[in-house]
């Protein structure tokens, strides 16, 4: 909790806000993937802003959700490595 969340993809923040009391940032990539970063404690981007892989977009809550939609269908984010504007997956271990 409290760790910086970095954008997992290059694109435009198409949604920044609350859904059922949970904060989300959704990024639409140039190849039309929707990458959802969820369960955020706070956000640091606005809807309509351009974001790049690694850019700070918010602060994690107690857990972090990452979702990827291709043509409106959710898919395993691990299967998207190397797809267009998605960055390479990497784990960042945090003590705690």
**pLDDT tens digit sequence for 31-82:** 899 999 999 999 999 999 999 999 999 999 998 888 899 888 888 877 766 5
For residues 66 and 35, what is the distance between their CA atoms, to the nearest angstrom? 7
Q: What is the pLDDT of residue 41?
A: 96
- Contact between residue 13 and residue 36 where contact means Cβ atoms under 8 Å apart: no
Decide which of 59 and 88 is more confident.
Answer: 59
Cα 37 vs. chain centroid, distance in angstroms?
3
- pTM here is 0.80
Q: How many CB atoms lie within 10 A of CB 84?
A: 13
For residues 27 and 68, what is the distance between their CA atoms, to the nearest angstrom? 10
DSSP state of 90: -
Domains and CATH numbers, the chain: 4-80 (2.70.70.10)
Q: What is the pLDDT of residue 96?
A: 47
């Amino acid at each position: 909790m409290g760790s910086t969340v970095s954008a997992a993809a290059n694109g435009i923040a198409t949604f920044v806000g609350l859904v059922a009391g949970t904060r989300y940032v959704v990024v639409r990539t140039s190849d039309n993937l929707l990458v959802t970063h969820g369960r955020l404690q706070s956000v640091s981007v606005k809807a309509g802003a351009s974001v790049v892989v690694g850019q700070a977009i918010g602060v994690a809550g107690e857990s972090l959700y990452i979702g990827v939609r291709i043509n409106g269908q959710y898919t395993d984010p691990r299967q998207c490595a190397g797809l267009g504007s998605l960055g390479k997956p990497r784990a960042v271990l945090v003590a705690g």
